[in-house]
Structure 1
Amino acid sequence: MKFKDGYWRMRPGVRADYATSAHDVTTEPGSVRILAPTREIVRRGNTIDGPVLRVDLSSPMPDVVRVRVVHLAGSVPAAPVFDVRDDHPGVEVSVDAGQVSLTSGALTVRAGRDAPWDLSFSAGGRELTRSAGKSLGIMNDQDSRHFLVEQLRLSSGELVYGLGERFGPLVRNGQSVDIWNEDGGTSSEIAYKNVPFYLTNRGYGVFVNHPGRVSFEVGSESVSRVQFSVEGHDLEYLVIHGPTPADVLRRYTALTGRPALPPAWSFGLWLSTSFTTDYDEATVTSFVDGMAERDLPLSVFHFDCFWMRRYRWCDFEWDPEVFPDPEGMLRRLKERGLRVCVWINPYIAQASALFDEGAAAGHLLRRPDGTVWQDDHWQAGRALVDFTSPAAREWYAGKLRGLLDLGVDAFKTDFGERVPTDVAYADGSDPERMHNYYSLLYNQTVHDVLAERRGPGEAVLFARSATVGGQRLPVHWGGDCESTFEAMAESLRGGLSLGLGGFGFWSHDIGGFEGRPDPAVFKRWVAFGLLSSHSRLHGSGSYRVPWLFDEESVDVLRAFTRLKARLMPYLYGAAVQAAREGLPMMRAMPLAFPGDPACAHLDAQYLLGPDLLVAPVLSADGEVTYYVPAGTWTRLLDGESVTGPGWRTERHGFDSLPLLVRPGAVIATGARDDRPDYDYADGVTLNVHEPADGESTTVTVTDSGGRPAAVFEVSREGSRLRARRIEGAPAPWNLCHAGTHAAAAPGTDHIEISLTAKE
């Protein structure tokens, strides 16, 4: 939200009261409290009749500083609040006549005692950012709304990333962003997944710990500042030191939670009925048969909305006219080795029997006058489950348990964005702050019941809406996009931006959602989709089985599905890292290469895990221009070398795209290509690319539960490439370099390859 008209003037009807100094300072162990008046205090009379901001400085963990600003404390809602870790680390507090400072780890915040207001953040003797004069304050507008606002300085050349799922350019500078979940597709400024956290190329991040609407002006009201504002009387933000973007993400996710590790089977290909298409068990069987007949590995079958009866979503009952034997159908699918996912949402249609049941028990969201909140969007007379009520959550979870007992394995948790604010929650939560937070309660309820019935390592969602903490509950997909190359690009930007908010696992509708993609779009999207963390064929009014496009689509889907399966030892290792460290599987180039200025704005390519560079082809003719960072990279699909730094323009067939291996990387590939969940260590091949003399690399191959199954050390000594197994039970394994393969002899744990002939 903009409050100024240019640099000097306020907008009509806006009154500003800015903090002027740290006039009154008190300290306690681990914290500092500042009273910041909004007028200069030159005599005692200036302390009367005027607002004073309370500014508390503390630290929840090393290298993180919390700033909490309160105006009228009695007007601050108690709920909801994000679950943020607080370790109460040891900090150093210093106070003298000129300033007060608090140091946590390498990060120091200093507040000047005299006017003008000055709050600076530094690490290693280098200033990161600063709240200077006319930055922190109170805004009252002509509608008597009350806001708290802060502005943090942007240095010359500083670039801002993040703020959740955003479909425009990856760099946020110059953008106005409202943190407010909405159902708006992938081609506008609004988003399904909003996260009030950003990071910059200057070595720090900022998390605004506020669950409701947060308005960001990123170099857009004042071009040298990031402004954020909230309506109400409290504003808390945390400055997180890196120094690298990866370090910032590790600390942010340590604060707000890291993703659960999805089950290995979820990384295979998902096939959907699509949204409004006509289907029954015969249709489903024909799709599954068609995939098998064409040798297309399939892991999950998904039933979208119309598995339930029209006008009754969600009553969690199979449409008896279309699916007269759901238990038998699910059993038959599972006998073919498939997992089953079904679509749900948090809305209860008036025609559903659950409406009367939920209303009578008090499980549905109500208006302030006590009546059930309803409208006719999506389903006639829809109501919302009140997830602030433990009884309502248990009621909803009970309906899901019935589906799990029937054989369902996963839920697509659609919607959760269209949440009203003219309501009264069961626990008294503030409706404005609940708007985004609702998505967290909804998805947490579903994830918990999956973990309860299937086990923690087997719980997986396909979720659309999210906010802070939602990253703990994977997987998320990008929402409704068109079936065009432009939509493919905007979906990618949204996913990379979301990853910069700690979301480790992300997917999208292969081929696009709205409309029917032409074969070229479909085939290019298949390659991108199978080189994403999760891969789903889904559409709106048309099916997404490949033979309906052309026979080449079948071949392309087969090739990339099998490639992903072979890469699972490497990919699941990246998934384990995402769960343990908070680093996304699909990494934006500024995250992966923070020291390379050529990567700062790149949003059409990414790293998949730590070592694979992917540049999706966004054209029918196959022409793609992409950037290669420094070093000699290897094209995975044909073994050719590509040297950077520099730009390349290439033309690729539908069975290809730029897929490069980082210099010195060891990519573990599996012995199977027909499924994603298998014994990764049995027959694993260690593919070594451009090893440096004297360097050694440790490679851990996990099992399909994320536990170490085998550990190898690979090193180059002159013309010899050596590998040895240092942990793990005896099993066949292989070493490969530049087309030369060697297998470990039975009972041995060492392999050597001569490099002389290859270099």
Structure 2
Amino acid sequence: MKFTDGYWLLREGVTAAHPVEVLDVEAMDGTLEIHAPTQPIRHRGDLLKGPVVTISASAPMPDVIGVTFTHFEGEQPRGPEFDVTGQEFSPHISYDEEHATLTSGALSLKLARSGSWHLDFLAHGRTLTSSGPKGMGIMRNAATGAHYLREQLGLTVGTSVYGLGERFGPLVKNGQVVDIWNADGGTATEQAYKNVPFYLTDAGYGVFVDHPGKVSFEVGSEAVSRVQFSAETQELTYYVIYGPTPKDIIRKYTALTGRPALPPAWSFGLWLSTSFTTSYDEETVTSFIEGMRERELPLSVFHFDCFWMREFNWCDFQWDPRVFPDPAGMLSRLHERDLRVCVWINPYIAQRSPLFAEGKALGHLLRRPDGSVWQWDMWQPGMALVDFTSPAARDWYASKLEALLAQGVDCFKTDFGERVPTDVAWSDGSDPERMHNYYTYLYNRTVFDVLRKHRGEGEAVLFARSATSGSQKFPVHWGGDCEATYESMAESLRGGLSLGLSGFGYWSHDIGGFEGTPTPALFKRWIAFGLLSSHSRLHGSSSYRVPWLFDEESVDVLRLFTRLKLSLMPYLYEAARTAHAEGLPMMRAMVLEFPDDPGCAHLERQYMLGPDLLVAPVFDDEGDVSYYVPEGTWTHFLSGRTVTGPRWVRERHGFLSVPLLVRPGAVIPVGAVQDRPDYDLADGVTLRVYGLERGRQVTVPVGDVTFTVVREGDTLRATCSDPAAAWALAAGERTARAQAGTGFLSLELG
């Protein structure tokens, strides 16, 4: 939100009050308490005037400093609040005549006690960012009566800003206006399904604004050398998080807001959907599955989209008896084919659903201030929302899902959850504006907890569309309604990379695009991208996504890239475990891995899959692709060709190829299984070694086994956590095999 009219003036009707100096500062229990008047104190008469901004600075953990600034403290606190987890940690506080300093690990907040208002954040003596004169402020709109708190943090020259959720515009957010307000806007607009009030910079720090409602960011836009954020509130908290690397920042941000759960191994295989409005029954479903089997296309999960339920009954959680007369038997038959089953749900209850009357009578549906159930006709006629602020409503909703799990359903696609009204009264008294974004957190947590309870820890997985800060704890998330175009494929990738830089470990998208039907060429290009993503799903709106309906080559392309992904499970699952343990995404923007390479700062059409594989999807029928190779000699995984960087590369790829390059010095474990994702990853594993320098040693975790590979002169030697296993390979040879646990190890020199 913009408040100014250029540099000198305020917009019509806007008034502003900014801290101009420090009246007093006091240390209390590890917290700096600051009072800052908004006019100079020249004599006692000035002490009778307001406003005065009250500021508290504290540290929930090392390298993180929180700042809370308040106008009126008498505002009645109303939830919800983000679940922010700190540590038992006491920062160091020091004073001199000129400054008060709070130090948390390597990060310090330095407050100017005299002169004009200035708040600096420093690490190792270097200023990361600052709140200067006319930065922090109380902003009022006389026409509407709205009261905002605003902060502006400086951007040094050359600093790029990332994150703020799954955003489909340019990956670098400088120059953009971003409103943290969940919306069902597709992938082609500035709106987003997953809004996260956290941004990451390549200058050593990130900022998390701890406000679950609408936060408006002006990223080098209203003031081009500052990031501005504002919210309509009387109190606002933000955390500055020091890295120094982008990876370190994400680790510390997710330590505050939660790390992703580890999805089950089977979820990394191929998912096939009925698609949205297509006509289907068990015979249709079986024909798809049998067609995949006949063509040797490995399939892990089958998904039933909306019309598994009767029309106008979404959601009643009842199979449409006209087309699914024996759901338990059908689910059993699918399980006999070694498939998991996912079904579509949303948090809305249509008026025709029998659950509408039940939910209304029990008080489980969201109400207006006058006590009537909130309803509208968009999406489903007369639909209402489940009030997830009520524990009883959560239990009621969960009980409907438990019945499906008892039938044999394995997981849920938790669609929607963005269009949440504000003219309502929540059962727990939550503020409607603050609940708008937070609703998705309660919705997906409810469903995830049901799965965790009934399927066990490590078996719970969602396919979720909406999210906010903290929702990364309930994976997986997909990109929403994209179109069947190369442009939409590219915007989907930008969204996924942006989400990964916002603390989300896993991400997927609709292969081929959701709206419309892709051309065979686009479908094949998107398959390569989709199978080199964290999770992979074939899904569309009004047309099926089985490959033989496009052309026979699509079958070959899907077979190749599905088998490739499954063979890479020893590598991918370790990347997934890193996402769970550290918060680092599986699909990584290049800047995350190469923050010191200025050529990577703006790259948004390529990414790292885990730490060592570079993927450059092809956005062109003819196969022309340009991508950037960082320093070193990289190897094409599929062909063995090498490319030396740093430089840009232009290539042409057929449909059975894609730029997939291995980082120099990497050891890629390749599994012996190509028809399923859940297997003994160490049994028969191949360690492919790429450009390992003499004297270098690499540790390679594979399932429950750890290999160590070292190059000693012209010999590669591998040792295993099983002390009886050891192998050596001369530099001029290709393979060496020996027993490794229950299988064998093949060590290849790349």
Question: Per the shorter chain, which TM-score range?
Answer: over 0.9
Q: CA deviation at 1:745?
A: 4.9
C-alpha contact 1:683 1:734 (8 A) present in aligned 2: no
Summarize the alignment of residues 630-709 of structure 1 with structure 2, pairs less than 5 Å apart: 630-702=631-703, 709=704
Question: For residue 737 of structure 2, what is the aligned residue in structure 1?
Answer: 743
Worse overlay, 34-43 or 495-504: 34-43
Distance apart, 1:749 and its partner CA: 11
Matched to 1:75, the amino acid is E
Q: Aligned with 1:368: secondary structure?
A: coil
Please tell me whether the aligned partners of residues 83 and 469 of structure 1 are also in contact (alpha carbons under 8 angstroms). yes
The equivalent of 1:67 in structure 2 is: 67
Deviation at 1:573, TM superposition (A): 0.4
* CA contact 1:639–1:738 (8 Å) conserved in 2: no
Against the structure 1 CA distance between its residues 630 and 373, is the aligned structure 2 distance closer, same or farther, given a 3 Å change threshold? same
Alpha-carbon distance, 1:78 to partner = 2.9
- State the 1:739 CA deviation: 8.1
Pairing 1:82-481 to 2, within 5 Å after superposition? 82-141=82-141, 142-481=143-482
Contact preservation (8 Å) 2:715, 2:731? no
TM-score of the aligned structures, taking structure 2 as reference length: 0.98
Structure 2 vs 1, CA of residues 404 and 13 (structure 1 numbering), >3 Å: closer, same or farther? same
Answer whether contact 1:76 1:232 (CA < 8 A) is retained.
no
Change (3 A) 1:747 1:43: closer
- Calculate percent identity across the aligned residue pairs: 67
Question: How far apart are the structure 2 equivalents of 1:152 and 1:202?
Answer: 13
Length, aligned pairs only: 749
**Matched letter for residue 129 of structure 1:** T
Amino acid at match of 1:713: T
Asked whether 1:719 is paired with 2:719, we answer no
Q: Closer, same or farther in 2 for the Cα pair 1:746/1:124, shift >3 Å?
A: closer
Change (3 A) 1:132 1:533: same
Measured in 1, the distance between the counterparts of 2:576 and 2:462 equals 15
SS state at 2:267 partner: helix
Q: Is the 8 A contact 2:738 2:746 kept in 1?
A: no
Report the CA distance shift for 1:509/1:748 in structure 2 as closer, same or farther (over 3 A): closer
SS of residue in 1 equivalent to 2:427: coil
Please state how far the C-alpha of 1:324 moved relative to its aligned partner.
0.7
Q: Distance in 2 between matches of 1:728 and 1:539?
A: 50
1:65 aligned partner, one-letter code? I
Displacement after TM superposition at 1:45 (Å): 1.2
Letter in 1 for 2:70: V
Other-structure match for 1:506: 507
Cα pair distance change 1:275/1:507, threshold 3 Å:
same
| Contact 1:197–1:207 (CA under 8 A) maintained in structure 2 | yes
Residue type of the alignment partner of 1:483: A
Q: Distance in 1 between matches of 2:746 and 2:82?
A: 53
Provide the secondary structure at the position in 2 that maps to 1:379: coil
Contact 2:243 2:249 in 1 (8 A): yes
Question: Is the CA contact 1:508–1:529 (under 8 Å) kept in the aligned structure 2?
Answer: yes
- Partners in 2 of 1:164 and 1:427 — Cα distance? 27
**What residue number does 1:17 align with?**
17
* Change over 3 Å in CA distance of 1:735–1:374 after alignment to 2: farther
Q: Is the contact between residue 350 and residue 384 of structure 2 (CA under 8 Å) also seen in structure 1?
A: yes
Q: In the superposition, relative to structure 1, how do residues 395 and 158 fare at CA in structure 2: closer, same or farther (>3 Å)?
A: same
Q: Show structure 1 runs of 5+ residues with no match.
A: 703-708
Partners of 1:78 and 1:30 lie apart in 2 by 26
Seen in structure 2, the aligned counterparts of structure 1 residues 294 and 735 have a Cα distance that, compared at 3 Å, is: farther
1:413-463 per-position Cα deviation (integer Å, ceiling 9, x unaligned): 000000000000010000000000000000000000000000010000000
Q: Is the 8 A contact 2:504 2:585 kept in 1?
A: yes
**2:616 is matched with which residue?**
615
Q: What letter is aligned with 1:600?
A: A
Distance 2:727 2:342 in 1: 35
SS in 2 for 1:398: helix
After TM superposition, the structure 1 = structure 2 runs for residues 539-558 of structure 1, keeping only pairs within 5 Å, are 539-558=540-559
User: Offset at 1:20?
Assistant: 0.9
Determine the C-alpha separation between the residues in 2 that align with 1:137 and 1:196. 19
Task: Provide the rounded CA distance (Å) in 2 between the counterparts of 1:570 and 1:404.
Answer: 31
State the Cα distance separating 1:114 from its structure 2 match.
Answer: 2.4
Instruction: Look up the equivalent residue of 1:4 and give its one-letter code.
Output: T
- 1:281 CA displacement: 0.6
Alpha-carbon offset, residue 545 of structure 1? 0.2
1:706 counterpart residue number: none
In the alignment, the residues of structure 2 paired with residue 483 and residue 672 of structure 1 have an alpha-carbon distance, to the nearest angstrom, of 32
Gap change, CA 1:190 and 1:683, over 3 Å in 2: same
Q: Which amino acid aligns with 2:717?
A: R
8 Å CA contact 1:18, 1:38 repeated in 2:
yes
1:728 CA displacement = 7.9
Residues 685 and 746 in structure 2, CA contact (< 8 A), matched pair in contact too:
no
Displacement, 1:736? 11
Name the SS of the counterpart of 2:88 in structure 1: coil
How far has the Cα of 1:49 moved from its partner?
3.0
Shift of 1:737: 8.0
Secondary structure in structure 2 of the residue aligned to 1:727: coil
* Matched AA of 1:83: D
> CA 1:693/1:736 → structure 2, altered by over 3 Å: closer, same or farther?
closer
Aligned 8 A contact 1:710 1:728 in 2:
no
CA shift at 1:143, angstroms?
A: 1.0
Listed one character per residue, the Cα deviations across residues 566-601 of structure 1 (whole Å, up to 9, x for unaligned) are 000000000000000000000001111000000000
3-state SS of paired residue (2:165): coil
Deviations 1:37-92 (A, max 9, x none): 11111111112131111100000000000000111112153310001012131211
Q: Distance in 2 between matches of 1:753 and 1:429?
A: 58
1:76–1:233 CA contact under 8 A, matched in 2:
no
| CA distance in structure 2 between the aligned counterparts of 1:665 and 1:63, rounded to whole angstroms | 31
CA contact (8 A) 1:154 1:224 kept: yes
- 1:388–1:735: structure 2 CA closer, same or farther, 3 Å change rule? farther
Question: Structure 2: how far apart are the matches of 1:439 and 1:754?
Answer: 47
Gaps of 5+ in 2: none
Between stretches 154-163 and 92-101, larger displacement belongs to: 92-101
